[in-house]
Amino acid sequence: MDLILFGPPGAGKGTQAKILVEKLGLPQISTGDMMRAEKASGSELGQKFADYMSKGLLVPDELVLELFAQRLQKPDAQGGAIFDGFPRTIPQAEALDATLAKLGRKVDAVVALDVKLDAIVDRVTGRRVCRACGQTYHVSYSPPPPSGECISCGSTDIVQRADDTEEKVRTRNAKYHEQTLPILAHYEPTGVVKKVDGEGSVDDITGRILSALGKQ
Ligand code: AMP
């Protein structure tokens, strides 16, 4: 199954994708995580990504598509994938459709998480991330342990993302409305879009996603 987890930045796509990896047995393809890893490697390409990311702007399509094409060729993605934060523009959606079609696949479901802007600002400004493994926390709802050690990997390198400030999240939300939201209309005619209430507990939201997919 090829599944797009869709929604504004801070809607919980990454959190849910990590849970769905286990439940559905599919890999998570997060272009944001891949870009942060490239940046951490210190490469020139990583620096280019960082220039856009730090301003809350989208990285140009040609750079994103290169990254995505390489990732989709990996063995773990041959039976489908969970796309998180990709596609973010109509040209990216068209490229995804064309690449999957060549493999005899298609987007089987677009799960659109619906979360109000106030809740997003609260979630994103409180978000903390383990730089070693990507595990996420929230300072109020799921804080890192008092020892400061990551629950997944034990690293103490738990930080706030540079683009997780209120100002940046508002910019990213505006970009989402301008550039990303039209993707829903692109997929709606094929009947694959499933709107899911993205507010509430993590477990409740996972339950709603699985039932929208007919998996529970
Ligand atoms: P995310 O981790 O998905 O919230 O992405 C963080 C940032 O990475 C975004 O604000 C963009 O600057 C960049 N980014 C991630 N995925 C994409 C994409 N598919 N297209 C363009 N920019 C992206």
**Token pair 């508002």: residue:** 170
Distance CA 158, CA 130 (A): 4
Spacing, Cα 31 to ligand 1 middle (Å):
6
For residue 49, the surrounding DSSP H or E stretch is: helix 44-53
- pLDDT tens-digit readout, 176-197: 999 999 999 999 999 999 999 9
What does the block give as tokens for 9?
A: 């930045």
Mean pLDDT, range 107-114, rounded to an integer: 98
Distance CA 135, CA 71 (A): 21
3-state secondary structure of 122: helix
Share of the chain above pLDDT 70, in %: 100
Query: What pLDDT, on a 0 to 100 scale, did the predictor assign at position 2?
Result: 98
Q: What is the mean pLDDT of the chain?
A: 95
Mean pLDDT, range 63-86, rounded to an integer: 95
Query: What pLDDT, on a 0 to 100 scale, did the predictor assign at position 108?
Result: 98
Mean pLDDT, range 76-85, rounded to an integer: 97
Query: What pLDDT, on a 0 to 100 scale, did the predictor assign at position 211?
Result: 97
Is the shortest distance between the CB of 86 and ligand 1 below 6 Å? yes
How would residue 134 be classed by pLDDT, with cut points 50, 70 and 90? confident
For residue 5, the surrounding DSSP H or E stretch is: strand 2-6
CB 85 within 8 A of CB 30: yes
Spacing, Cα 9 to ligand 1 middle (Å):
9
Check whether 42 has a pLDDT greater than 90: yes
Query: What pLDDT, on a 0 to 100 scale, did the predictor assign at position 216?
Result: 79
Distance CA 8, CA 115 (A): 8
Is the shortest distance between the CB of 46 and ligand 1 below 6 Å? no
What burial class does residue 41 get, using C-beta atoms within 10 Å of its C-beta: 0-12 exposed, 13-18 middle, 19+ buried? exposed
Mean pLDDT, range 144-168, rounded to an integer: 95
Burial 19-36 (b: 16+ CB within 10 A, else e): bbeeebebbbbbbbbbbb
Check whether 101 has a pLDDT greater than 90: yes
For atom 5 of ligand 1, the residue with the nearest CA is: 32
- pLDDT tens-digit readout, 44-54: 999 999 999 98
Query: What pLDDT, on a 0 to 100 scale, did the predictor assign at position 27?
Result: 98
**Token pair 């505006």: residue:** 174
Distance CA 137, CA 74 (A): 29
Is the shortest distance between the CB of 10 and ligand 1 below 6 Å? no
Burial 152-186 (b: 16+ CB within 10 A, else e): eeeeeebeebebbeeebbebbbebbeeebeebbeb
Mean pLDDT, range 15-26, rounded to an integer: 96
Is the shortest distance between the CB of 85 and ligand 1 below 6 Å? yes
* pTM for the model: 0.91
Check whether 56 has a pLDDT greater than 90: no
Share of the chain above pLDDT 90, in %: 93
